Amino acid sequence: MRTGDIGFRVVQDLRMTEKVVQKADKGYRNKYLKRLILFTGLGIVMILWAVPLLGSFLETLKPEQAIKTVVVVLFAMFVPLILMAFYMMNLSRRILKSERFPPPGIKVIRDTVVLEGQRARSRGYLIMILSLILILLSTGFMIYMPYLFNKLLEVRQHPSESYDSIQRISGTISGHMNRGNQYDQRIQSRGN
């Protein structure tokens, strides 16, 4: 087998039906494992080194600047998720178009039974739904996080105003309740 070719073999299961198995590409598997180890190591370094560094940096900033910095960092954290979701969307389109899972031309890191027809389409739809959910959640958090942090900043800057707004709301509610009680008392006095 030449490099870059995708090998297939036929396997029989207990029901005596033939299954097509796409053989693993060992070179691709080694490259995948090296990348996995590299990114895992980078993640550990980021958690152990960059997060405390960011925390000490945020302590030197004014609260407004610190919140804006946190919003930018959180925004940047969701970008790779959206990129992964678009890759998943592309993969699902290829699966649905070819009605085959894994789609033609995709390298696999382990021997994989090839699914065709309805089973492949259902996998394609599942991957598409998951990618849409990931896009919606990531985009929603990217939109909601700045709003949430701005609200926290407003409460921190003006705690008396937020207390006043709470009093105003509770006063409105109690006012409605008092009017309801007065109405009940008038109805009862008419009945007697």
| φ/ψ (deg, to 5) at 6 | -105, 120
Q: Are 4 and 106 in contact (CB under 8 A)?
A: no
Q: How far is 36 from 49, CA to CA, in rounded Å?
A: 20
Residue 94: per-residue pLDDT: 96
Residue 1: per-residue pLDDT: 44
DSSP H or E segment with residue 122: helix 118-157
Residue 118: per-residue pLDDT: 95
Q: Are 74 and 145 in contact (CB under 8 A)?
A: yes
Per-residue pLDDT tens digits for 81-131: 999 999 999 999 999 999 999 999 899 999 999 999 999 999 999 999 999
Per-residue pLDDT tens digits for 1-28: 444 455 555 554 445 457 888 998 899 9
Per-residue pLDDT tens digits for 134-173: 999 999 988 888 788 777 767 666 555 544 544 454 444 4
